[in-house]
Every structure is written in structure tokens, then in C-alpha cells.
Amino acid sequence: MPTYTAPIDNFRFVLNDVLQVGDTFAKLGLTDATPDLLDAVIEEAGKFCENEIQPLNLSGDTEGCSFENGVVRTPKGFKEAYDKFREGGWVGLTADPAYGGQGLPHTMSSVLDEMVSASNTSFGMYPGLSAGAYRAISLHGSQEQKNLYLPKLTDGIWSGTMCLTEPQCGTDLGLLRTKAVPAGDGSYKISGTKIFISAGEHDLTENIIHLVLARLPDAPAGIRGISLFIVPKFLPKEENGQVVAGARNGIFCGSIEHKMGIKASSTCVMNLDDATGWLIGERDKGMRAMFTMMNAARLGVAIQGLGLAEVAYQNALIYAKDRIQGRALTGAQAKDKAADPIIVHPDVRRNLLTVKSFVEGARALGLWVSLQLDIEEHATDPKEREAANDLLALMTPIVKSYFTDAGFEAANSSMQVWGGHGYIHENGAEQFVRDARITQIYEGANGIQALDLVGRKLPANLGRSLRRFFHPVAKFIEDNKGDAEFGELLLPYAKSFGKLQQATGFIAQKGLVNPNEAGAASSPYLRMFALVAIGFMWLKMAKVAKAKLAEGSDRKDFYGSKVKTARFFITKTLPETETHFRTIMAGAKPLMDFEVDEF
């Protein structure tokens, strides 16, 4: 049976020592978010994930969701666990206190999301979709809509979805056919079919609030003619002064998908037949509101990839320390045993350290990006909010794509450590691989993220977003170039950073002449950028760890491991940037110089 232990010390290290979030939160006026409170929240979240939802992960995968006569039932134990999750206030952790939330920083949502994803990715889908619906309504809904829906979503007694995809359109939502016809009373009658709707139907909550993209009869063609609507499963009504779920609306689950992974998460076909809905925001501006959900969801999916890599690593490490096979190349290490633990073997270590260095570096990067959400929302200086928004926009496609690609690779590498035993269901390693695979596809497939990066984010505001990353990195290199001891990390990193800048210029120049040049370079460029970004986090972590060791910290093993892991990443993983650089510089011709019939 797989296990999970929340990485509390690593969260503390990144939040308190590296990012120093306490100072940032105090500056932003988030005075309740004290280090002591945040520490208590992390510990309690870890206990809940370890004790309540992780034990349901393997059984949930085995049982899956069931569908009968339009009713979806989640696996045994999920409803009870969800009720505890809701009662513990975890659904509304970062929601506005005005609607019953705890008002904690968004950064803490990423901490919780990682632990939930690591312990039970399928379970995390249900409150995760609700968080997206909450955010869209809070930013784009009318005050009446906020008052009606946000308290219920915050409490978790109602849940949410996002209904975008249709059989004929996924990424290209301009092909959308779902129709919304004005009913004459301020509401709309909505008809159409949506597919791949996560948490579209289930038995965890009293009501499900669907956010549905649809087109009005006289709407312009393409994405400029799409509007966003609230379509509840049950129409809200007032009863004894309380809002409750009333009559059944015309939105029903037609079937659920039988999937490779996340089997305890219901993925539904939703049929709308004159369902009653209400417009959110302006008509024909639905994509703007929906992207509020999608961008938050993309960061959430990135964290899923990270969480799955973490739990896969933990279980592979336990196995590598316990499993004995062969002797170390330099001679027997466990002379009292018939063979040595496989962790003595270089290639096993390579697998483990590749995952470890990704997980810890990505955690720091993910929390740094999440912190920009809090700065964007709470900073009083408009320039500071603008800078946070720029960095968030730039980094979102990078973390979504790379964390999920590398998360899948990490789960696969961790499974390799198990050998044949990793292929056996009850050991859990193969489930992590299957669950991780979807993260590379949904919320915008990773190739789309790469196109978004080179096509939209790089040229945005004349390259201003890029400067939000390049300038801090250049300053860090300049500030530390005189530290001879730090040079073994800084110098090779500076070379990779220089290559990233060179590749950026190449894409900007060539892409103006031929868009295929930018498209062909997009995926290797995104991976190159991600490696440099994670490397930057490792430099910052190594600097802090070295300072702690110099101060005589009694946690020499912890900080010493950080320095060693930074060295591993900089010397063994970061050099991949050279391969990506060469691929970029080879241009588009090797890809595009084929006729279709030559494939």
C-alpha cells in the first residue's frame, strides 16, 4: 500500500526562509496571516491529507465512480471524507470572510492543493472546480449573484464546474454551438452538449453550480460571440429565510467517461435542454470571465503535477532503501545482508535525485508564482500590482506545462525504481503514472501552453512581462558573482540564463517573419525557460541554506541536503537547456519541410 507524508519542513523552508512570505503578507495588510497561523494550517492540512483522503486513493482508483439512471456515485468513503473536508473549512480557506471564508492568502491554497493532490488527486478535483467557480463569480458576477452563490460555494455545501468543451471543439472554442435564448425575465434557456466536465455530477454536495459557455442568437461568430452563464443543477429558492436547492434544472449527466486515471473523479457528458441560466458579466464577453477560471485552474493543474511527483518520489525512496538487490559497485555496503539496498546503485540514485531536485525546485517556483496572486490582489501600489500580474501571466503557461510534463516523467522514473513491483496495482506506483498523465492534457494541452508563451506572453506589452523575470535573475547573478564559493553553482547557471536570453531574441526575430518559426521553437523554449526558472529557485535556496550552515544551524543534514540537491540540479538537469537551445536554433524547416503525404 502506498503512503504519504506531508513535506511540512520543506514548506516552512520555502515560505519562511526563501520567500519570507510573512514580510510580504504584512506589507500587503494580511496581518492575520502570521507565520504561527500559517504553520498551524499547514500541519493540520497535512494531518487531514495523510489520515483522511490518502487512505482512499487506491480504493477509489479500484472502485471508480458509478453511473446509473443519471446518478453518479463517488467511491466508498469519499462522501464522508468530503463532509469532513468541508466542515474543517478547507473549501473556503482563501475565500472572502464576507462570504464565510477564512481569508487566507492564495499562496496557502497552493500549499493545500499540493498536499491534496499528492494524497488523492481525484478527491481534489471536486473542491478544485468549486474554487474556480467561486473565483469567476467573485470577479465577474453581479452583487446579487455573489450574495446568492458565494456563501454556498465557500461552505462547500454547493460545488461548481466549468463547462467549456463540446464534441466538436476543445481548444478552438470559436466552434462552440451551445445556444442561450433570452427567456424574457432576465434569465436564458440554454441547450447543448458539453463533454469532459470534471465533477459535472456527483453525490458529494446538495447542488452543483455549472458555469457554461454559450452563444446568444445574434452573437458574432467566433470567440467574440461567447457569453458565460450560471446554470445550477437545482434552481435556488428561499425557504424559511435560507437559500436552498429547489426545482431540478434542465441540465443532466448523460454518461461518465471510463478513463486511464483519476478514476474517482467523475468526468461527465452534460446535456442541457432548455436549462435555465443567468448571464455572468457582459454578453459576448464570456471568454474574459472564463479565463479567470482557466488561469487559476492552470496553476492548480501545475500543482497537481508537482504533488504526484512528490508522492511518487516518497514511495520510491522508501522502496529503494528497503529493497535489496546486488552489491554496490565499490563493494558490499550492507555486509550483514545477502545484498545491498538498491539505493546504493548510481542509476537508482539518478532517478531519485532527478525527481527530488525537480519537486523541491518546482515547489519553490510554484509558491513564488502563487505569491504574485496575493500581491496582485492586495498591493496598494499600482506598479507593484502590474508587476505581479505580468509575472503571473508569463509564468502560468510555463509552470502548467513543465510541472505536468516533469511530474509525469517523475512518476514514471519513480515507478522504474520499483522494477516489476511498480507495475503491480496495489503498490500504487502505476496509479501515480496514470493519474499524472491527464495533467498534461486538460486545462489547455501543453503544446497550447507553449504557443501561448511564445505567441502572446513574450510580445505582450513590448516584452514587459519578460523583464519581470529576466531583471531579478540578472540582478541576483550580479549581486553574487563575487562569492567564490557560490561560483560552482552561479557560473554554469549564468551560462544557461544567457542561452535563454539568446533563444528569446532568436524567436522574437524569426517569429516576426514566419510564425512557424515561433511555433516550432515553442515547446523546447518553454522547457528551457522552466529549467532556468527552477534553477533560479535552487540558487536562492542554496544561498539561504549556505547561510544557515554558516550560522551554525543544528539542522546540518537538512540544509546540507539543500546545497547538494542544488548542485545536482545545476550540474545534472540544467544542462538540458543546451539541447533545447540547439533544437530552437535549428529553426522550423526540419518540422515544416514535409508534405502531408510524407508523414
Q: What is the pLDDT of residue 462?
A: 87
pLDDT > 90: percent of the chain = 94
% of the chain residues with pLDDT over 70: 100
pLDDT of residue 477: 98
Contacts of 471 (CB under 8 A, 6+ apart): none
The pLDDT assigned to 223 comes to 87
User: 343-378 as b/e, with b when 16 or more CB fall inside 10 Å?
Assistant: bbbeebbebbbbbbbbbbbbbbbbbbbbbbbbbbeb
Position 311 scores a pLDDT of: 98
CA dihedral 469, 475, 478, 481 (to 10 degrees): -70
Domain ranges of the chain: 8-140, 158-285, 462-588
Q: Is 576 a catalytic residue?
A: no
Please state, in angstroms and as integers, the Cα–Cα distance from residue 299 to each residue in 43, 53, 106, 368, following that order: 23, 22, 11, 12
pLDDT score for 243: 83
Q: What is the pLDDT of residue 292?
A: 76
DSSP states of 163-177 as a string?
E--BTTBSS-GGG--
Residues (pLDDT < 70) of the chain are: none
Cα gap 416→136, rounded to integer Å: 41
Catalytic residue among 114, 360, 376, 443: 443
Q: What pTM does this model have?
A: 0.97
Q: What is the pLDDT of residues 423-444, one digit of tens each?
A: 999 999 999 999 999 999 999 9
Q: Which three cell numbers stand for residue 73?
A: 456515485
Other Cβ atoms closer than 10 A to 138: 20
Which amino acid appears at position 419 of this protein? G
Task: Please tell me the predicted confidence (pLDDT) of residue 294.
Answer: 79
Domain 158-285 fold is Butyryl-CoA Dehydrogenase, subunit A; domain 2 (2.40.110)
Per-residue pLDDT, 135: 94
Q: Which CATH class is domain 8-140?
A: mainly alpha
Predicted confidence at residue 177, as pLDDT, reads 95
Asked if 501 contacts 577 with a C-beta cutoff of 8 angstroms, the reply is: no
pLDDT at residue number 291: 79
Q: Which of 307, 258, 261, 303 is nearest to 430 (CA)?
A: 261
The whole-angstrom separation of Cα 38 and Cα 21 is 10
pLDDT of 301: 97
DSSP 319: H
pLDDT of the residue at 343: 98
